[in-house]
Amino acid sequence: MNKQSADTTPASAIPLTKHDKPAFLNPETLPWMPWVMPGTHYRLMDVDVRSGGFTLFLKVDPGAEAPPHGHIGAVEGVILEGGFAYDDDAGSKGDYICEQAAAIHQPVSPDGCVMFAIVHGPLVGYNEDGTIAGIVDAKTMYEMATADGVADHISADFH
């Protein structure tokens, strides 16, 4: 497309996307459901079938310590309540977090936390001996939310 055609094409000539489902959802209409790590709960907002990533609200109980886990893709988020830390690197309400792809860590949340997170690829959980305990990806999250009865707002085709 050249600049001239971009400037002279009327907006009405561009077909607009029609959504199958509403684009907006109040996350508070979804209940907190138990998540894969002890002391955590989720509200799944969407899944990305291509990257294996997903978007969720995550609630962490006070005193919860995640098992060691890694990120195949980066995770970005904003802490909405409380906070959590990795050793001496701590975040609290209002902080943005970016956990880089390939990061392996074990966060703790002494006072609990609620955060909004965009997970750009699967998560890998590890056992104490370093073996893989499990992988959480878009399909896992969608199946979990479907089983929990909280996936009606998500359109996903894994075929």
Asked if 128 and 95 count as a contact pair (C-beta separation under 8 A), the reply is: no
Which helix (H) or strand (E) segment is 46 a member of?
Answer: strand 40-47
- Written as tens digits, the pLDDT of the chain (159 aa) is 444 444 555 667 899 888 878 889 999 999 999 999 889 999 999 999 999 999 999 999 999 988 899 999 999 999 999 999 988 899 999 999 999 999 999 999 999 999 999 999 999 999 999 999 999 999 999 999 999 999 999 988 887
DSSP code string of 77-95: EEEEEEEEEETTEEEETT-
pLDDT at res. 8: 52
Q: Give me the pLDDT at residue 67, please.
A: 87
Domain boundaries, the chain: 47-151
Class of domain 47-151: mainly beta
Q: How many CB atoms lie within 10 A of CB 98?
A: 9
70: closest CA among 133, 144, 139, 140?
133
Q: Report the SS3 class of residue 71.
A: strand
Q: Quick check: pTM over 0.75?
A: yes
